[in-house]
Amino acid sequence: MWQNKAEEKRQSLFDAIPTDWILSKDISDSLPKNLTKIPLNCGILSSLDIEITEIDEIEELADRIARGRYSAVDVTTAFCKRASIAHQLVNCLAEICFVEAFERAKFLDEYFRSTGGKTLGPLHGIPISFKDQFEIKGRETAMGYIGFLGRLAERNSILVESILQLGGIIYVKTTLPQTIMAGETQSPLLGVTLNPWNRSMSSGGSSGGEGALVALKGSICGFGTDIGGSIRIPCCVNGLYGLKPSSGRISYGYVKNSFDGQESIASVIGPMTRSLKNISFLLKSILDLKPWLNDPNVCPLPWRNDLFNEGQMKPLCFGVIRFDQCSQLSPPVQRALQMSIDALEKSGHQIVEWDTTDFPQAIEMAIKLFTADGGKDVQEALNLSGEPLLKTAIVGKPEDEISVHQYWKLNAMRRDFLLKYAEKWNQSQNLTKTGRPIDGFLSPIHPLPAFPSDFPLSAGYTAVFNFLQLSLVILPITRVDLQLDREIDSYRNSTKLNEIDEVYKNFYDDPEKFENSPIGLQVVCRRFEEEKAIRMAMILENALKSSFYSE
């Protein structure tokens, strides 16, 4: 029975946690809504563990290791302990590799000692987490499917190898939803992953395990994947920074996936972390290894300082997206967007309202591409165990299946749409004071600040940018304010545009339901403009800080 296999897997994860790292019954039986302070106060972490895991910037942690203040074993111990606590609180781990992690840490410490204080690379001694799509040799990659249990990876994914080459340590893989094609993280295999800021809410998906783990500081940085919002939604609801690059910038080599072979809208890999600086540091470090030599699907684009510097031109012009033509923004998200607009204008940047009337056409084509196989790929995986399909997954039905010829025509339509969108973007120079096209977009990620499990989701603010293959950065802006976000009548009583919009508006009945929930936005640039998007996100963050301190 699939239920027994799922229970055995869950128990094996719990058994992999040392008994000294198990939360007391008093704590586990009386959890508050906000779980983020429990690791600090549960008595499991030493003062050194807390000092290490409270560091948000990889470069700072790496520098302390390089100066001998911490050993790799110290750092590994701290993150393994905190990841264990996080799993007990929110159910975020899919694989626990502590034994291998400590072997690696001891090797790194011996290397440091024997070379007179040299480090193996810029990530020397830094534990990095991975979503359970990445292959780690000798470990399962179940991807939320019970039928995939027992399949052991024969090699590491190329990105895993890159992290090891840079001196990193692999210690956990994190939860994702069955099928991967869902905006929350739930599976019959491992259950539901909760949001640490508000455990009545979802951690998002499909990279929700990474989002929850990093938010609880059980990881300084992890890697997720994104095909329709799967990095952005978890970053948004967990208060994190993230990068959704264009396809071909970071290697997807030997990474498992649902819909394997569907490349019209490619899934991409990006970091999820608590510091914007970590994104540029990691991307540059990975690109310095020239991954295109090992993966021909990676474009030979090294880190480009000129493009990074282009993102700090003044004034910049941001196109603002307020409505995806499907779901209107709830009061907290409206406020986060307006805060950002006001801060940018105060800093001398221009804001241009962006027309999104073509978004529904892009989303319609995206859904057709995602469901073109009629659900055969997912059904084959389900048939291995007999487990049921979760209702939140975006999966085709038999009547959605299309012919090869129809698929070709759909790809041609997408190609033409991209050409027209590039033309539209170029013509935006007529709207800007600078005389050049809009530099990038400022966009919401989701209409609500948070949502519970089994909640219907719209990806209108996210999937369109996968369809367009654009580069973007996610950053946290603010949190739900129980006073400022109480003016709900105009939102709830406005015209219900469709079934999803009605569900959203009905759900937002009291801001206290969303207490502690972070709100994030995304800065969107053209294809392969990751460096510029990072810099523009820095400009926005600095503008928000300046605006806050000047008030």
Distance of alpha carbon 402 from alpha carbon 255, whole angstroms: 27
Dump pLDDT digits (tens) for 15-60. Answer: 999 999 999 999 999 999 999 999 999 999 999 999 999 999 999 9
Task: Report pTM.
Answer: 0.98
Instruction: Estimate the crossing angle of helix 58-66 against helix 72-90, to 10 degrees.
Output: 140
pLDDT at 219: 99
Distance of alpha carbon 231 from alpha carbon 245, whole angstroms: 10
Question: What is the topology classification, in CATH, of domain 305-550?
Answer: Amidase signature (AS) enzymes (3.90.1300)
Helical (H) or strand (E) element with 172:
strand 169-174
Question: Does position 302 have pLDDT exceeding 80, yes or no?
Answer: yes
How confident is residue 550, by pLDDT bands cut at 50, 70 and 90? Answer: low
Dump pLDDT digits (tens) for 539-548. Answer: 999 999 987 6
Distance of alpha carbon 203 from alpha carbon 220, whole angstroms: 17
pLDDT at 392: 87
Question: Does position 549 have pLDDT exceeding 80, yes or no?
Answer: no
Q: What is the set of active-site residues?
A: 131, 206, 230
Percent pLDDT > 90 in the chain is 96
Question: Does position 188 have pLDDT exceeding 60, yes or no?
Answer: yes
Tell me which of 546 and 248 has the higher pLDDT: 248
Specify the CATH number for 2-293; select among 3.90.1300.10, 3.30.420.40, 3.20.20.70, 3.30.390.30: 3.90.1300.10
Structure tokens at 364: 């319609």
For residue 466, which of 279, 234, 225, 132 has the smallest C-alpha distance?
Answer: 225
Q: Do 278 and 504 form a contact (C-beta atoms < 8 A)?
A: no
How confident is residue 471, by pLDDT bands cut at 50, 70 and 90? Answer: very high
pLDDT at 249: 98
Question: Does position 373 have pLDDT exceeding 80, yes or no?
Answer: yes
Question: Does position 489 have pLDDT exceeding 80, yes or no?
Answer: yes
Dump pLDDT digits (tens) for 504-529. Answer: 999 999 999 999 999 999 999 999 99
Dump pLDDT digits (tens) for 110-134. Answer: 999 999 999 999 999 999 999 999 9
Distance of alpha carbon 102 from alpha carbon 108, whole angstroms: 10
* 2-293 and 305-550 share one fold: yes
Listed by start position, the domains of the chain span 2-293, 305-550
